[in-house]
Every structure is written in structure tokens, then in C-alpha cells.
Amino acid sequence: MWYLPLLTILMAIGLSIPLGWWLWYRLDCSIARNKLERWLCGGENSGYSILGQSWKKYCTSLVLFNIVVFFIGYMILSNQEHLPLNPDAKKKLAPGTVFNTACSFLTNTNLQHYAGEVHLSYFSQIFFVLWKQMISPAIGLAALLAMIRSLRGDSHCGNFYLDIWRTLTEVMIPLSLLVALLLMPQGVPMTLAGALEVTPLAPDKEGDKQIIARGPVAAIVAIKQLGTNGGGFFGTNSSHPFENPTFFTNLIESICIILLPMACVFLFGRMLKETRQARMIFIVKLLFMALLIIWAVITDSQTPNPIFSASKPMADTPESPFIQSLPVENEIGNLEGKELRFGRSAGPTWSALTTCTSNGSVNCMHDSLNPLSGLTPLCGMWLNCIFGGVGVGLINFLIYLLIAVFFAGLMVGRTPEYLGKKLEVREVRLAAIALLVHPFLILLPCALFVTLNWGSESTNNPGAHGFSEILYEFSSASANNGSGFEGLQDTWGFAEESANPSKPAPHSLAWDIATGIVMLLARFIPIIAPIALAAYLAQKKRVPFTSGTLRTDSFTFALLLVGTILLVGALLFLPVAALGPIAEHLGPLPFGS
């Protein structure tokens, strides 16, 4: 039961330490090493190869680069039926699906209002999905590098284009190739041939054929996991036997989910020469992740489905004879909607790992988790700082750390300091903006969709569970996670379907636009505000360390930090948790008693 999560975490920690050293060795230096890098920095005579960019120029470059990437991706999806590498003749996508998907993969969210093997051509999978899944984590890591350089007092943030280039060529591409080569011998397909048509072993009638989708799966799965992306080649994501065929691939992919976010903490410690503080941050993050994994496994793998464990037998109805054959007390846990090839704990463990980061891939249906177990992915996304996405996860955690420093300053009655720099009004305001934009982008649209019935009319489940589905969708979009409770009718898919009034998705366009806007705002505001905050700190003189200085690498501060995260998270999200998963757990069963 517990060996899979334990093995995953231990191996990830062991691999992340040397990887963190490699990130520091290859990415910290901001001086261009050759002519190509000098060109990327703006030319040999621009001075960028040595001086780098100010935080405003760095953020401007970041935003302009993302605008270009968005429009390139939008054009690819809008014209996929006319582009090559389309052996299965995939059709034109609906405009709302195109907009939502372009926003999703730009922001490292990979929320999929489509099924990959159904709606996307190989060209779209390679030159949109694969390319965006390389670019978006590189952008997050570049943002972290810029913030760290400012925190240590550099006069510049580095050069955005140079950071992107080095992250892609020296981190993302080599690691992806290595992981893909490990996955292919295990049975993950890697081909440009079209779908395979075969005769079933037991056809219903003569001439029956089965269509087996395949494609360049290994390449996409590798960067999907490494880049905390989560965009699956298949609609069922990592529960599909072509994406995750063996226990070995399940272990590799689970490790890859948390590998780079863990390595970013060690990168932070080396760049700032604050190894004790990095160790404290890592332990706090690891504590939260371990607690969520334990909670998920206990409340799902070791807790039966409440329908099957009701105190009274179900009514004897011909519609549910299989239920009558089950014992009243089911002691094997909730197995519905779970991937059982790798053990009962595989699904709940993955659900915790994928939402403690911004990965969003799944190997079980989160909609099928027991109500209390469903709190695991929700809490991971609500806190949005437990390892998190590549680069941005640590940025979000540092915001909580600065808020904890501010609280400590209020308690002892002195100006709060971090790394020898005083936190004053401007810095605290920027930290508050970066922190509060996340709950704002979850709670406001969730309330809007419930009030206007756009959400309730799109769910297949009434009551508390339907509310949880709506809440989960916006939590996933705002956390740039991409996983879903599903059960929502939130997309049309192909353009010809959007013109068909018989299709049961009345509010799909509203879902596409709303979640697309949420993903964009939730990605860039919490990146730009912390970079500005760190740049303002860099302009201040360092305050001498005295006996009254609050040490931010101590056990006492770690406890304060844990308390701050829990307090802020509870104040922001406990009410909606009570209306969703907790109410569902305490409420009556959906049918029978």
C-alpha cells in the first residue's frame, strides 16, 4: 500500500539534488558564452551580454514573447485540418476550444476541453502541444531565475531570452529525450503512422472493426510530466495503457512530476548561498505533500465507497443487481474510477502529486474519489505552493514566506526583514496582490457560474458534488494545474458540433472563455508582481544582522511558515470546502438507504 508513494518520494529527492546542482551550474551565469547567445541577448554591442535586463525590461520581454507564442499556437489549432501530419483527417476545432486550448498550453495549465486522440492531428500534437509544453515550464524557470538574482542583490534580472534558450537546450530537451528513451521500450508508442484498424477478438457482428489510436506518444508524455504540464496525448491521460503501460513507467512518470520543482529549491539555495534556508523550505514543502498523500490514500484506498458501505442494504431493484451481490461492508476501499494495475494507492498518490505541483495529469478519475479524498487535489491547488510548477511553484511559496515574515514583524513590533532587506509598504502590497489574485480568480467566477446557472446546468451531478465540479474547474484553471473533476459539459470540440443544437453543451463557450481568461491572469500576475517585489528589495541597502534579526532558516520560523500557509488557506477556502466535499461527505447518499 505504502511502498509506491515512499519509493517515488525517495527517488525523486535523490535525483533532485544533483539536478539542482546542474541547474545552478548551467543557468546561473548571465554572461553570453558564444555568438549565438550574444545575439539572443540583443547583440554584442548592446551590453546585455554582461549587464542583463532590468526587471521592467525582463517582464516586457516575457510578456511579448508569450503574446507571440499564443498567436502561433492559435493559428496552428485554427488551421489544423489544412496542415500536414494529419493521417486520420482531424477536422476543424470550434473557436471556443481553440481559444481555451491556446490559453491553456501557453500558461502551463494544459486544461483539456478536448480529447487528444479524437480532436488533434499529429501536427497539432507536435508543433502545438509538444512545443508549448517545452516553452511554458522554461518561462516559469526563467521567472524564478530573475527573482533569485534580484533577491541576492544583482543589478539586473539577467536576460529573458538567454534564460529561455539555456533552459530549453540544457534542461528541458535533454531530460525529455532521456525520459522518452526510458518509456519507449516499456510500450509507449512513438510513431507518425495513423490509427490502426483491427478486428476485435470477439466481434459483436461480422465485419466489426476497432480503431486503435497511436502516435508520437513517448515524446509528449516525457515533457508532459517533466514540465509539470499534464496535457495527455489521450483523453484518459496517464490511465491509458499507451501513456502508462507498466509499473516502471508509472514510477518514472510519478517521479518526473515532482523532480524539477524539487530541484528548483536546491537551485534557490545555491544561487543565494542560503543552503539552510533552502533546506527549511524543502522540508516544509515535503511535509505538506506527505500529509496530502497520506490523507488521500487513507480516505480513498482504505475507505470504502459510501454507497457500498451503507448501514442498510440497497433496495432490491432489477436496475442494480450487481450492487445486491456486494457485501454491505466493503473493506477494500473505493475502487470505482481507479487505475488498479499498479495497486490501490497508485491513483490517490498520483492525485496528490499532480496537484501538489501544477502538473494536472491523472491516472484515476478525480471525480470518483471519495468526498474527503477529493479534498486532497483541491487543497493542493488552493495552497498552490507545495512544490508547484517549474519555477513558479517556488515563487508562490516565497510569497507565503514573505507574508510570514511580515506577520512575525507585526508580532514583535519591528520592521520585517528578509535576506537583510526591509519589507516595507510597497513590497507587502505586491506580495498581497500575488497572493490574493489566486483565490479571487477561483471564488468570483465560481460564484458567477453558480448564480447564473452556467455551472449547474453543465453538471451531471446535482447538489454538493456538482458544486465541487464547478469549484474544481476554476481551482484548476487558477492554479494552472489542468486536472478536472470531470462530469462537466464544458466544450464542443469540433467546429461542426458547435453548430448542432442537439449537442448537450449549452454553456460550453462560457466555460471556454471564462477558464481561458482565468488561466491567463493567474499565470502572469503572480509572476510579474514577485519579480517587481524582488527588484525593489534589490535596490535597498542590506541591514546588519543582529541578535534581534528574525532567522528565516530556523525551526521556529518553519513552524510560523506552516501556520501562515494553513491559516491563510483556511480563511480563503474553508467556506467553499464546507459547501462542496465536506457537505457531500456529511450529506445523504445519492440513492438508496
pLDDT at residue number 10:
95
Task: Give the distance from CA 521 to its chain's centroid.
Answer: 15
- pLDDT: is 440 or 548 the higher one? 440
The mean pLDDT value for 565-573 works out to 94
- pLDDT 10s digits, 457-480: 888 777 888 899 999 999 999 999
Q: Say whether pLDDT at 497 is over 80.
A: no
pLDDT at residue number 416:
86
Is the pTM higher than 0.85? yes
Q: Say whether pLDDT at 516 is over 90.
A: yes
Q: Say whether pLDDT at 498 is over 70.
A: no
The mean pLDDT value for 342-347 works out to 84
- pLDDT 10s digits, 407-426: 988 887 777 888 888 888 99
Q: Say whether pLDDT at 47 is over 50.
A: no
- pLDDT 10s digits, 349-368: 999 999 999 998 998 888 88
The dihedrals phi and psi of 362, each to the nearest 5 degrees, come to: -140, 150
pLDDT at residue number 179:
96
Q: Which long-range contacts (CB under 8 A, 24 or more apart) does 167-173 make?
A: 167/27, 167/137, 167/138, 167/141, 167/142, 168/134, 168/135, 168/138, 170/26, 170/27, 171/22, 171/23, 171/26, 171/27, 171/138, 171/141, 171/260, 172/134, 172/137, 172/138, 172/223, 172/226, 172/227, 173/134
For residue 207, what pLDDT band results from cuts at 50, 70 and 90? low
d(CA 305, CA 163): 49
d(CA 73, CA 76): 5
Going by the DSSP 8-state scheme, the letter that residue 168 receives in this structure is I
For residue 503, what pLDDT band results from cuts at 50, 70 and 90? low
pLDDT at residue number 49:
46
**Which residues lie below 8 Å from residue 276, measured CB to CB, with a gap of 6+?**
553
pLDDT at residue number 32:
66
Q: Which residue stretches of 152-274 are H helix?
A: 160-167, 173-183, 217-226, 247-272
Q: Say whether pLDDT at 44 is over 80.
A: no
pLDDT at residue number 588:
66
pLDDT at residue number 79:
92
Q: Which of 341, 342, 340, 388 is nearest to 368 (CA)?
A: 340
Q: Find out whether 236 and 262 touch, Cβ atoms under 8 Å.
A: no
Q: Which residue stretches of 330-415 are H helix?
A: 346-356, 375-383, 392-412
The mean pLDDT value for 145-171 works out to 91
The dihedrals phi and psi of 139, each to the nearest 5 degrees, come to: -65, -45
pLDDT at residue number 452:
85
Q: Say whether pLDDT at 502 is over 60.
A: no
Q: Say whether pLDDT at 311 is over 70.
A: no
Nine-digit cell string for 508 = 460550453
pLDDT at residue number 198:
85
**Residue keyed to cell 529527492:** 13
pLDDT at residue number 328:
44
Q: What percentage of the chain has pLDDT greater than the value 70?
A: 88
**Which residues lie below 8 Å from residue 495, measured CB to CB, with a gap of 6+?**
91, 92, 93, 94, 95
- pLDDT 10s digits, 174-194: 999 999 999 999 999 999 988
For residue 312, what pLDDT band results from cuts at 50, 70 and 90? very low
The residues that bridge with 376 in the sheet, in sequence order, are none
d(CA 429, CA 20): 31
pLDDT at residue number 307:
62
Buried b (16+ CB within 10 A) or exposed e, 87-125: eeebebbbbbbbbbbbbbbbbbbbbbbbbbbebbbbbbb
For residue 532, what pLDDT band results from cuts at 50, 70 and 90? very high
d(CA 516, CA 107): 10
Q: Say whether pLDDT at 135 is over 60.
A: yes
- pLDDT 10s digits, 369-392: 888 888 999 999 999 999 999 999
The mean pLDDT value for 507-533 works out to 93
Q: Say whether pLDDT at 91 is over 80.
A: yes
Q: Find out whether 88 and 195 touch, Cβ atoms under 8 Å.
A: yes
Q: Say whether pLDDT at 492 is over 70.
A: no
pLDDT at residue number 593:
35
Q: Say whether pLDDT at 37 is over 60.
A: yes
Helix axes 375-383, 275-296, angle to 10 degrees: 160
Q: Say whether pLDDT at 53 is over 90.
A: no
Mean pLDDT of the chain: 86
> C-alpha distances in angstroms, 333 versus 8, 99, 114, 289, 403?
22, 40, 31, 22, 40
The mean pLDDT value for 428-448 works out to 94
Nine-digit cell string for 170 = 540544457
